[in-house]
Amino acid sequence: MPPVSQPSEKNQATAGAAKRTPAKKAAGTSAKKAAGTPAKKATAPVAKKTTPAKTKAPATKTPATKTPAKAETPAKAKTPTKAKAKPPAKPKPESHAALVRRARRINRELADVYSYAHPELDFENPFELLVATVLSAQTTDLRVNQTTPRLFAAYPTPEDLAGANPEEVEELIRPTGFFRAKTKSIMGLAVALRDNHGGEVPGCLEDLVKLPGVGRKTAFVVLGNAFGVPGITVDTHFGRLVRRWKWTEETDPVKVEAAIADLFPKSEWTMLSHRVIFHGRRICHSRKPACGACPIADLCPSYGEGETDPEKAKKLLKYEMGGLPGQRLKPPPDYPGKAAPPLGAA
């Protein structure tokens, strides 16, 4: 075996130095740490890491949870409140010129639909028309037309009626209702015609309204249809429709008459009355208008008050518009419907 070599003194010295060197470095490092240099480095990072962590964590969490809750609650509560409190927009009032244009357009439309419009009382002369109009109060023209043939056959002139037996007259006009009061009226006007007008019906408004049972409505019916003097007949149908159409808000017949007269030329007054009354009896009824079958629906500010379904509205039409007989037993030749049956007929 080769002899084990012993380290030389040089090698031993080197090894000893190597061992001493780390000790010195370690001692130097410890000395530096004791001097305070590392203490600053250790303190500074701790302060930077701990301080932001404590302050930022609550700062980020607090607004994230509380801010949305505050923002959402008022948004939900205020939105419906504002919608309810907001008043609806008011439509602009219609000017007088616009009202005149709309009213006259309605009249033209009705003239096309009811080209055959006429007085719906049967009569042969002014006296018969006057008596029939007085009898038409609180009843239908149809019932009057079914009643007057026997009355006029018995008393054809004012002189005949003025000298009649009241009880016999009451029996003849009983179907029209209120027959006692109506007997006094027609016999009273017959006496006035015989004594003050030579048995003739006067052709002026002032004289007509002085007759018993005759008001402005009756007078204008007689003047317009027996003498050709223009007049506006404000009956229940006429008054109802002009208010629905917003031509006027007046309810007094005299004020309604004046308001409508301001919208139309005088030459249109009589036929306008017929057309409006025709429309009120056939389509624009009091309780349930047939809006879905109305030819002037696009011009009516009250559209929707009645039945708007076209098929259902057709079932509400009356007289010739609904395929039924009219109100006259002797209608004019151009009337498109059927004549009404006499009293007592099926």
Q: Do residues 295 and 113 touch, judged by C-beta distance below 8 A? A: yes
Q: How many CB atoms lie within 10 A of CB 84?
A: 6
- N-term to C-term CA, the chain: 158
From the candidates 160, 184, 235, 318, give the one annotated as an active-site residue.
235
CA distance 179 to 169: 9
- Does residue 235 carry a catalytic annotation? yes
Q: How many CB atoms lie within 10 A of CB 7?
A: 10
- Does residue 217 carry a catalytic annotation? yes
Q: Do residues 212 and 226 touch, judged by C-beta distance below 8 A? A: no
3-class secondary-structure state, position 259: helix
3-class secondary-structure state, position 271: helix
CA distance 117 to 165: 37
Q: What DSSP string describes 184-232?
A: HHHHHHHHHHHHHSTT---SSHHHHTTSTT--HHHHHHHHHHHS-----
CA distance 271 to 279: 12
Residues 6+ positions from 113 with CB-CB distance below 8 Å: 279, 295
Q: Do residues 233 and 251 touch, judged by C-beta distance below 8 A? A: no
3-class secondary-structure state, position 325: strand
From the candidates 122, 141, 182, 217, give the one annotated as an active-site residue.
217
User: In whole angstroms, how large is the CA radius of gyration of the chain?
Assistant: 51
Residue that has been written with the tokens 């002014």 in this structure: 126
Q: Residue 299 is encoded by which pair of tokens?
A: 């011009």
Q: Residue 334 is encoded by which pair of tokens?
A: 């151009």
Q: What is the largest CA-CA distance in the chain?
A: 183
Give the residue numbers marked as catalytic. 217, 235
